[in-house]
Amino acid sequence: MSHLCPRMFCSKIEQNFKILKELTFIQRWCLANVDDTSADDYYSLVMAAGKSGSCKMLEPFKPPPSKKSRKERNREKLPGSTPTLEVMEQEIWKEFPEDLFEAVIARLPIATFFRFRSVCRKWNSLLDSQSFSQHCAEIPPANPWFYTITHENMNFGAMYDPSTRKWHQPTISFLPSKMIALPVASAGGLVCFLDIGHRNFYVCNPLTQSFKELPARSVKVWSRVAVGMTLNGNSTSGGYKILWVGCDGEYEVYDSVKNSWSRPGSMPSNIKLPLSLNFRSQAVSVGSTLYFMRSDPEGIVSYNMVTGVWKQFIIPGPLQLSDLTLAEYEGRIMLVGLLTKNAATCVCIWELQKMTLLWKEVDRMPNIWCLEFYGKHIRMTCLGNKGMLMLSLRSRQMNRLVTYNVISREWLKVPGCFVPRGRKRQWIACGTAFYPCLTATA
């Protein structure tokens, strides 16, 4: 600005004073934990500044009139309305520190990931940046998402974000053509898939498409198996382990660090065989321990991935409860099931009491929702077990999806899942909950 005279320079300073205040606010905002609303407000601003690695500024605009009609005011209050952007001077933004761009992006809602990758190659390569991974590690874990498979498109998945109540249709290109692979477990942002023939395992990050096919198992068991997955540490950087177990007591453990399967031992004699595993219920993990549900005798079987110790707990299930599924939240073991009496059906939530090893009812679906199920033969599938449950309730005439927040005890209906540019509502077949993580690698 050396070519400007002092008067013009002062005028320029006054014009940019407001913008400088905004810059200071954004720098402070980058270093603090913010909610999703704040991130959405500044997403468009950062996108405009970061395209192609250079800060291409927007054209100046004229300030709106001070008085607005009621119609204009109501339009601004509508969800999804785009706020007006301030003019950002190139001379200011070209000096914006690069590390702050990473801090801003790391704090954006996970759903914006699908958009910011297309801004430029530099932003797309952030996933491989160590500094960006450190920024992401400082952010508290988001609410779990759900990766689901639909009856109409068994080769394609649909992801549901309960925070925004929106579906995402990722392009899953890693699986072999015409192969159906079902999500069976998850840990640290990764989802474990098992093909429908129970032969091959795959691990994938549904957000980034980071993919790995696991080596062949040493034990040739093609019957149905239960699968659990845990992390070796707090993130996938320390590796992960996957356990499969069959009803006959055969089991193996995969270690991602060694990239191999192993047989740590045999099932102890005090555990009754066959296991009669409840395959409708996915395994839940508390720390390094996996819990599986069994039906004869009724109870839970656990396996510690660190010590290699199996345990059995005989726990009678609640009466008149069907379609039982285990769930977990902050170390608490939960039970979800359908309570049927006469022609009435209701979804109930139970919690395992550690002292007595008995189930105690802690919540149930609102009665007004249960009236819809009256007189119908309802089947239920639980698609998640990490503090946020997604329940698929279906009969011949209907298929309802609802979510249940364990901590807030809030029931919400899930909007219909439609294929891109399609009108037909999809029926959810199976799924699993996972914590979305941009830096998790298979």
Q: What is the pTM for the complete model shown?
A: 0.74
Same-domain status, 158 and 120: no
Helix (H, G, I), strand (E, B) or coil at 252: strand
Q: Residues 315, 194: one domain?
A: yes
Angstrom distance (rounded) from CA 27 to CA 32: 9
> Where a domain ends, among 122, 137, 152?
137
Q: Are residues 232 and 346 in the same domain?
A: yes
174: burial class by Cβ within 10 Å (0-12, 13-18, 19+)?
middle
131 and 145, same domain (yes or no) = no
Handedness of CA 172, 175, 181, 184 (dihedral sign): negative
Same domain for 205 and 264, yes or no, is yes
Identify the DSSP state of 305: T
Say if residue 125 is in the same domain as residue 153.
no
Task: Please enumerate in sequence order all residues whose Cβ is within 8 A of that of 1, keeping only pairs 6 or more positions apart, or say none.
Answer: 9, 12, 91
Q: Are residues 107 and 156 in the same domain?
A: no
In a domain, residue 79? The reply is: no
Contact between 414 and 403 under an 8 Å Cβ cutoff? The reply is: yes
Q: Which of 244, 290, 252, 248 is nearest to 271 (CA)?
A: 248
Task: Say whether both 181 and 98 belong to one domain.
Answer: no
Residues of the domain holding 127:
94-137
- With respect to residue 27, please indicate whether it lies within any of the assigned structural domains: no
Q: What is the count of structural domains for the chain?
A: 2
Indicate if 189 and 109 belong to the same structural domain. no
User: Rounded CA gap, 162 and 389, in Å?
Assistant: 10
Which residue bears the tokens 């799924």? 431
Say whether the peptide bond before residue 297 is cis (omega within 30 degrees of 0): yes
Q: Which residues contact 321 (CB under 8 A, 6 or more apart)?
A: 337, 338, 339, 348
Assess if residue 121 is contained within a domain. Answer: yes
pLDDT at 152: 66
Question: Within a domain: residue 243?
Answer: yes
Per the DSSP assignment, residues forming a β-bridge with 310 are: 303
Instruction: Judge whether 385 and 327 are in contact, CB under 8 Å.
Output: yes
Beta carbons of 239 and 257 less than 8 angstroms apart: yes
**Within-domain flag for 52:** no
Residues 172 and 129 in one domain: no
**pLDDT score, position 400:** 85
- Domain annotation covers residue 225: yes
Residue 115 included in any domain: yes
Question: What is the per-residue pLDDT for 87?
Answer: 66
- State whether 150 and 266 are in the same domain: yes
Residue 50 within a domain: no
- pLDDT computed for residue 310 by the predictor: 94
Convert 96-131 to b/e letters by CB count within 10 Å (16 or more is b). Answer: beeebbbbbbbbbbbbbbeebbebeeebeebbeeee
Each of the 442 residues of the chain gets a pLDDT tens digit; together they read 444 444 444 444 444 444 434 434 434 443 344 344 343 443 343 334 444 443 333 344 444 555 566 556 655 555 555 555 566 677 777 777 766 777 877 777 877 776 776 677 777 777 777 777 777 777 777 788 999 887 766 667 888 999 889 888 776 666 666 678 889 999 988 999 998 878 889 999 888 888 899 998 887 766 789 999 999 877 777 899 999 999 888 999 999 999 999 988 888 988 988 888 888 888 999 989 999 999 888 899 999 999 999 999 999 888 888 888 999 988 899 999 998 888 888 999 999 998 999 999 999 999 888 888 888 888 888 887 778 899 988 888 777 889 999 889 999 999 887 766 555 666 777 889 998 888 778 7
End of a domain among 137, 168, 196? 137
Decide: 295 and 301 in contact? Cβ < 8 Å: no
- Under 8 Å CB-to-CB from 441, ≥6 apart: which residues? 205, 208, 210, 236
Show which of 76, 105, 137 is a domain's final residue. Answer: 137
CATH code, 367: 2.120.10.80
Identify whether residues 101 and 117 lie together within a single domain.
yes
